Amino acid sequence: MIKAADIVHIPAPPAPYFLECGHTVYAAGDQHPNRKNLGVFDLLLVERGTLFIGEEEKRWELGAGETLLLLPDRYHYAFKPCEDGCSFYWLHFQTVCPWQESAAGSLPALYQPEEHIRVYGTAPYSIQLPKHWHLPYPAQTYRLMDKLLAYTTERQSSAYWSGQQTFDELIRMMDLRQLEQYASPVVTVAEQTEAYIKNHYRSEVTGESLSEALHFHYNYITRCLKQVYGMTPHEYLLHYRLEQAKLLLLKTEWPVSEIAKYVGFRHAPYFSNRFTIKNGCSPQKFRKQYSQ
């Protein structure tokens, strides 16, 4: 069960990347080493027995089928030796994006979506990993970990891609946004709004059309999208239209006026003005930068 203050939000892209993993067996009396500021995420998956592990002021007794995500900048320690032996998998991964831990049901302000789009060229997706979790399918997770362990003995040229792919599958299994029972209503409405805008951006998108399509009041839709993506529906629509226009400026020889009309702008001068404000140059200059 997900408890308060135990979800770790990691924006992507760029996605978290796999570093290393292992399988450890403790006899009775053995205990996990104490570490401080490890610098990487440390995911523990208990296979057998009980692991007594703490992070700062919190403590967990991890049994078979349970996971714990230890954070890069915290103090981790064993508060008690193993009683009857214990075996567990561990996995280290990292991300270049800022991350944050928050209470279940809340959405932290990790970053400005506009800044993420400027740096990475796309809107961020927040991977939501449970701090402490009872695995719904332990056997499947253990098989993924065994595959990752096998890759460590292979040549890097093949192990890199195989390892990252398997790690991505593991993280996807643990991403709460992929599981309906943990889906946040706010995120669900925001994603539905985003999908509607992307499918209808060439047409007139209004508050009325959004409310009718999604069956929510426009003010609620706006709050949800603003909380998740940092933009109102109108702002997201404008952003998406301008991004599609950039692609057409690069991939076609269409006149600017035709591109403006195609992506949903009624007036070419207004399109050029908004494009210049967003990109720091006119559509003509933008195209010229990439033309011979």
Tokens of 126: 């927040």
Residue written as token pair 């995500």: 69
Taken in order 106, 165, 36, 27, is the CA torsion positive or negative? positive
In three-state secondary structure terms, 30 is coil
- Given a cut of 60, whether residue 166 has pLDDT beyond it is yes
DSSP assignment letter at 141: H
Strands 66-70 and 17-26: unpaired
Tokens of 109: 């302000």
- pLDDT (tens digit per residue) in 121-164: 777 788 989 999 999 889 999 999 999 999 888 888 888 989 99
Average pLDDT, the chain: 89
Q: What is the distance between the alpha carbons of residues 173 and 157, in angstroms, rounded to a whole number?
A: 26
Q: What is the distance between the alpha carbons of residues 258 and 241, in angstroms, rounded to a whole number?
A: 13
Q: What percent of the chain has pLDDT over 70?
A: 93
Of 170, 240, 132, nearest to 18 (Cα)?
A: 170
Q: Could you tell me the CA-to-CA distances from 190 to 54, 97, 210 in Å, in that order?
A: 36, 22, 11
Report if pTM > 0.85: no
Amino acid sitting at position 195: A
Q: What is the distance between the alpha carbons of residues 235 and 251, in angstroms, rounded to a whole number?
A: 25
- pLDDT (tens digit per residue) in 227-277: 878 889 999 999 999 999 999 998 999 999 999 999 999 999 999 999 999
Q: Which residues contact 113 (CB under 8 A, 6 or more apart)?
A: 123, 124, 229, 230, 231
